[in-house]
Amino acid sequence: MKKFSTETMFKRRMPKMLKALVIATNEKTTELGSILAIARSEARKREQSKLNPPIRALSYFPELCVYVAVYEAIEAPNNHLKLGR
């Protein structure tokens, strides 16, 4: 059995940053696949990425008549360089 240090275990359990989108549906967006496609597209635009961020959850709130999509934020590799300038 492998032994892990507490630092290694902490890194494995540490979640990435999650963000959420609220999607209001209309007559055209009745299928779950089209709502998921909207969530992917909007998350990609928000993160300014060419890749689709992974959608981790998609839930419907009937009292508000909206879907909420939770996705993993994409970490920019050179983000710390932009802050220093």
Q: CATH number for the domain including 69? A: 3.30.1370
Tens digit of pLDDT for each residue in 2-16? 555 555 544 544 567
Residue 41 lies in a domain: yes
CA distances from 9 to 3, 15, 56, 68, 72 (A): 10, 12, 22, 31, 20
pLDDT at 78 over 80: no
Tens digit of pLDDT for each residue in 14-63? 567 999 999 998 887 779 999 999 999 999 999 998 888 899 999 999 99
Domain that holds residue 72: 15-84
One-letter amino acid of 72: E
DSSP letter for each residue of 50-65 = SSPPPEEEEEEETTTT
Residue 61 lies in a domain: yes
Residue 38 lies in a domain: yes
Residue 19 lies in a domain: yes
Residue 67 lies in a domain: yes
Q: How many domains does the chain have?
A: 1
